[in-house]
Structure 1
Amino acid sequence: MQKDLIEKIKSNPDYQTLVAKRTSFAIVLTIIMLIVYFAFILTIAFDPSLLGTPLSSESVTTVGIPVGIIVIVIAFILTGVYTARANGEFDELANKVKNSIKDN
């Protein structure tokens, strides 16, 4: 019975759509975050003086501080974007799959 249910779910077109959309969206967001993070790390590695430059002539805060904060904020934004889409489109598709399995 359990294997039949699994096969029924896997063969459901809404489930296949859900998996494809969720996977491709997660990959895109992951690539964006990796680009942002590695750009930051590579800048530290190859041009540390750029991030070590003070914001102004009288400031003790360097450019690296706001840039680091921006990296963290981008991570939060991408998490929010994923959560919003997961709570909307992805949950809707998951409910379609559940309902089609219940009906059968």
Structure 2
Amino acid sequence: MDLQTIQNHPAFKQLASERARLGVGMSIVMAATYFTYIVTVAFWPRLLGLPLWDGTVITWGFLIGVSLIGLGFLLTAIYVRRANSRFDRLSQHLLEDLR
């Protein structure tokens, strides 16, 4: 079996397409969110220095920064769940068809 046969298989094309769409989509979400945070730091730093409510030392910048880290973990968890379910099924289907 050659590489061209695998690459032309419909299950492989679907697997590659779905993985690429999910990966690119999640990368765009993370990059856009992080870029927005950096632009806010650059142009509106006072906004991030404001306390969440009167009398607290926790600022909006801290909350948003921690949320960005949390978003990274969330996106990773979503990808792993998708990979362990949909992508594994497509891979198994491809392997069965190629045997």
- Give TM-score, length-normalised by structure 1: 0.89
The letter of the residue matching 2:88 is D
Match of 1:86 among 66, 83, 97: 83
- Give TM-score, length-normalised by structure 2: 0.93
Distance 1:12 1:55 in 2: 54
Greater mean deviation of Cα atoms: 59-68 or 16-25: 59-68
Could you list the runs of 5+ residues in structure 2 that have no partner in the other structure? Answer: none
Distance 1:59 1:22 in 2: 43
Identical aligned pairs, as a percentage? 33
User: What is the count of residue pairs matched by the alignment?
Assistant: 99
- Aligned to 2:2, the other structure's residue is in SS state helix
Distance 2:89 2:35 in 1: 34
Aligned-residue CA RMSD (Å):
1.1
Structure with max Cα Rg:
1
Residue 73 of structure 1 deviates from its aligned partner by 0.7
Moved over 4 A (4+): none
Could you list the runs of 5+ residues in structure 1 that have no partner in the other structure? Answer: none
The letter of the residue matching 1:46 is F
Match of 2:63 among 47, 62, 66: 66
Counterpart of 1:22 in structure 2 is 19
Counterpart of 2:35 in structure 1 is 38
